Chains A and B, each alone.
Chain A
Amino acid sequence: MEVIRQKVAVPGAPERPEDFRIRQLRARDMLRGDLEGPELEQYVEERVLTTTLDKAVRWAQSNALFPLTFGLACCAIEMMSIVGGRVDVARFGFEAFRASPRQADMIILSGRVSIKMAPIVRRIYDQMLEPKFAIAMGACSSSMGIFNNYAIVPADKFMPVDVHVPGCPPRPEALMHGILKLRKMIQADPDLGWRARYEATGTEEIVDGA
């Protein structure tokens, strides 16, 4: 059997060692302003990452979510443990839980929402500024959980929810998975989904003079 050695042509990489030198000289020329016209365009296409402004903004938004401290019941303890060392939400940059809804952009509804608390949750959600996202953590906030009774309201009844994380309570890894799914959703396009269906903008509460 014959062994044939063949160099695999990687696009953009120099095929021969001499090519590398050529590219080096080209780069020096571009920096000096000596490359012109089509040569310059080709150079830029090969090297510089182009993207739309939207995508860049979404990338920034998804990687800089500030969750709101909104612990209601048992799920809040598991939400606190994602801040802990084992499932470390600081790996992704989301460890700065803000207490004020004006400064947060993600509300994690961790726990059961009772009828006394529901208007308050809605008010806090309104006070958050766009773009804002909501995660319903646990079975009770998504759908009343095991307490199908007079005192509990599922979150979807009064506020739009982006991601539902099931569990009673969901493991911290599950919540992390939910948050990362939200991050992917934001990177894709957050305007799809309920925002387009309900044309839900302008839900902020602005206090005069504040």
Chain B
Amino acid sequence: MPDATGLELIAQELRDADDEAVLETLHFRGRSTLIVEPERIGWVLERLRGKGFDFLASVHGVDYYPEEPRLGVHYELLDMENVDRLTVKLRVHTDVAKVPSVTPQWPTADHQEREVYDMFGVVFEGHPDLRRILMPEDYEGFPQRRDFPVGGEPVLFTYDDAHGTDYTQ
């Protein structure tokens, strides 16, 4: 992982080229994270590709409920030559959950962005085929959001069946 100073250097370079791209840097447990502006994600990833991070290992979503902005998308980058990893993070609000898709430049993000759309509702603009991938196509709701109920059936114990669920009576 680029250590804290390496991370700051990368962030500085990006900020020099474009002021608003990088919002924050984070170094936690030996792992570096860049928090970027959602609109500039494609540009940031291309710049990082130029610096050697040419393998996109993972694209996944996180729901930061109740902190706003709620929905986050993480891009895990890997530099195979120097064996370095870098996370690029962006956060959007639920009502304007639109992120430019990086699939045209990084074909590996195809299914993974579809999964983020399916589970969290983040719409990736420019994605060639954005439809649900894991849930049935006509499913309503975004299951992995924190306010979506886990679902399932209530377990009917024999006592409840016979006496009702109010055990205080």
Contacts and interface: CB of A to CB of B under 8 A. Distances in A.
Interface of A: 115-116, 144, 147-152, 154
Chain B contact residues: helix, strand, loop or mixed:
loop
B164 interface: no
Interface residues of B, number: 10
B152 A149 contact: yes
B30 interface: no
B153 A150 contact: no
Nearest to B144: A150
B152 A150 contact: yes
B150 A149 contact: yes
Contacts, number: 26
Contact of B143 (A148, A150, A154): A150
Interface of B: 135-136, 143, 148-153, 155
Contacts of A151: 135, 143, 151
Contacts of B152: 144, 147-150, 152
A152 B135 CA distance: 11
Contacts of A154: 153
B135 A149 contact: no
Nearest to A115: B136
A198 B117 CA distance: 42
Contacts of B149: 150
A154 B155 CA distance: 13
A19 B150 CA distance: 79
A152 B143 CA distance: 13
A149 B136 contact: no
A204 B144 CA distance: 38
